[in-house]
Amino acid sequence: MTAPPPVAPLGRLLAAQTLAELVIRMRFPAFSVTTLALPVLLFTFFGLPLVGHTTAGGADLGTVLLTSFAAYAVGQVMVFGFGIGVAIERGHKVDVLVRATPMPPGVYLAAKVLVGMLFALLALVILFAYAAAVGGIRLPAAVLADVVVRLLVGSLPLVALGFAIGYTAGPNAAPAIANLVYLPLAFASGIFLPLEQLPPFVQRLAPYLPTYHYAQLAWNAIGAGREPPAVSLAWLGGYAVVFLWLAAHAYRGEEERKFR
């Protein structure tokens, strides 16, 4: 007879935590319905009427707006999922009990990011399927895959922004803060309305916003961007550093209070 292994395999921990995290999110309609249905709804209002119109650059406006709301959807999963999710969890003091178990904090965090990615993917599948069925927008598979990969890779600063909000705000304030941060960012970056239709000062401000470069990264994949992907990625990388620093700072503050 052999002795039982001294610790559980990390893969099993990650799988179990990811599954639980997925169930938790699904059972928060405020999160699941909002992140999955809102992009479809917004696209219906803002994007569908413009299918068939073309931009000055010759791209189909409906497709541009579909890409916009795809970016909006992924960003929302990240900012709201981590911002509100982590804040609520801190409110319930879930972290204290888990900390006393053999679950390493890194695996715990990894499960959250994984679930964020899965949710983002699900939101994109629903949005693209809807656009194809109702708007007749059929992008080549390679382009679709390109958009999805860009949105997932480029979402790192938004993941970090979510964590920064989640570790700073209380459970009641977090939804308001996430909205107040994310909605104006998305709006001012030309995601709801084309940049040309925004007030002049917003147009001047837009190129400094993380969501602007995030949208540009996606628009570039369908030939409607204003900057090369390398520039978008550089901006997003810079913002990732800033937001990760903020998140780490807030996380360390929390650690000091609870676990030192």
Partner 1 sequence: MTAVVELEGVRKRYGEIDALAGVSLAIQRGEIVAMLGPNGAGKTTAISVMLGLRRPTAGRVRLFGLDPTDRRARSRCGAMLQESGVPPVLSVREVITLFRAYYPAPLPADRVIALAGLEDRAPARVGTLSGGQRQRLYFALALCGDPEVLFLDEPTVGMDVEARRTFLDAVRALAADGRTIVLTTHYLEEADALARRIVVIDHGVVIADAPPREIKARIPSKRVHFDTVAALDGAVLEGLPVTAVERSGSQVRLLTAEPEAVLRELFRRGVPIADLEVAGADLEEAFLTLTARPGRPP
Cβ pair 214, 232 in contact under 8 A: yes
Q: Which class for 71: exposed (0-12), middle (13-18), buried (19 or more C-beta within 10 A)?
A: buried
How many residues interact with partner 1 (rule CB under 8 A)?
31
Q: Does 260 bind partner 1 (CB under 8 A)?
A: yes
Nearer to partner 1, 96 or 193 (CB): 96
Residues 55-74 that bind partner 1 (CB under 8 A): none
Q: Which is nearer to partner 1, 175 or 225 (CB)?
A: 175
Minimum distance from residue 142 beta carbon to partner 1 (Å): 38
In the complex, minimum distance from the CB of residue 26 to partner 1, in angstroms, rounded to a whole number? 9
Told to check if 1 binds partner 1 by CB under 8 A, we report: no
Contact between 6 and partner 1 by CB under 8 A: the answer reads yes
Q: Does 16 bind partner 1 (CB under 8 A)?
A: yes
Helix (H, G, I), strand (E, B) or coil at 60: strand
Restricted to residues 95-154, the positions that interact with partner 1 (CB under 8 A) are 96-97, 99-104
Query: Applying CB under 8 A, which residues contact partner 1?
Result: 4-8, 12-13, 15-17, 19-20, 23-24, 27-28, 89, 92-94, 96-97, 99-104, 258-260
